[in-house]
Structure 1
Amino acid sequence: MFARTTHRTVHFDQPFWMPDLGETVPAGDYEVDEDEELIEGISWLAYRRVATFIKLPATAENKYRMRLIAIDPEELERLMQVDRNAAAIFPSLSP
């Protein structure tokens, strides 16, 4: 089975709540990794996403440890949409 990982950076203008962690994460840039595996048995190359992770930086609150947290891709998109909507409604709060 062939697999690949794609990397991207997402930006949040506002702090956001991560329900699975039960904590608020500060605004900023975050690296997101998406693991995909090749779908075999078809006549063209296609990949299926099997995992999505967001990297949270080391902070004093988490005892200076970087964390790689699994996140549902739909939840990540929802969090990003909430952040975009807040920036559109309250532009003075955005940097």
Structure 2
Amino acid sequence: MTISRTTHTTVTFAHPFSLPGFKTVFPAGTYGIDTTEDLIEGLSFMAYQRVATELHYRTEHGVPFVEKIFTIDPADLDAALAQDKDPAHKTKQPTMISEAKAASKP
């Protein structure tokens, strides 16, 4: 029998962000993070190995809200949080077609 534990934390993003492998651009806000770890048996001390990290994303399209759960790589989450906290980070706005045409004229 495998013994598992799950830790729930929250993270807050000040800017929209994306994670590798997902087409979704997540809006700024607070997200729940669940980390599940399994006990490594056979050791003389207690140790756990991470087996899953999940990001909880709530969409507010009417009532009740819809919650989606994405299994993510914790290193990707750490990188997104670091980029969000970087003072040089600026959210890029999509270029409008009319602006692109105007910029290309001599």
The two structures, once aligned, show a CA RMSD in angstroms of 1.3
Which residue number in structure 2 is paired with residue 74 of structure 1? Answer: 75
Post-superposition Cα deviations, 1:50-91, rounded to whole Å, max 9, x if no partner, equal 00000000233xxx5210110011111111111111xx236x
Which residue number in structure 1 is paired with residue 66 of structure 2? Answer: 65
Which residue number in structure 2 is paired with residue 84 of structure 1? Answer: 85
Post-superposition Cα deviations, 1:10-42, rounded to whole Å, max 9, x if no partner, equal 010100013322021100110000000001111
Which residue number in structure 1 is paired with residue 3 of structure 2? Answer: 2
Which residue number in structure 2 is paired with residue 22 of structure 1? Answer: 23
User: Within 2, Cα distance between the matches of 1:33 and 1:72?
Assistant: 12
Structure 2-normalised TM-score? 0.74
- Aligned residue type for 1:82: Q
Unaligned runs of 5+ in 1: 91-95
Unaligned runs of 5+ in 2: 90-106
User: Within 2, Cα distance between the matches of 1:89 and 1:21?
Assistant: 24
User: Within 2, Cα distance between the matches of 1:35 and 1:51?
Assistant: 5
Secondary structure of 1:75 counterpart: helix
Which residue number in structure 2 is paired with residue 43 of structure 1? Answer: 44
Secondary structure of 1:57 counterpart: strand
State the aligned residue count.
85
Structure 1-normalised TM-score? 0.82
Larger radius of gyration: 2
- Aligned residue type for 2:34: D
User: Within 1, Cα distance between the matches of 2:83 and 2:49?
Assistant: 26
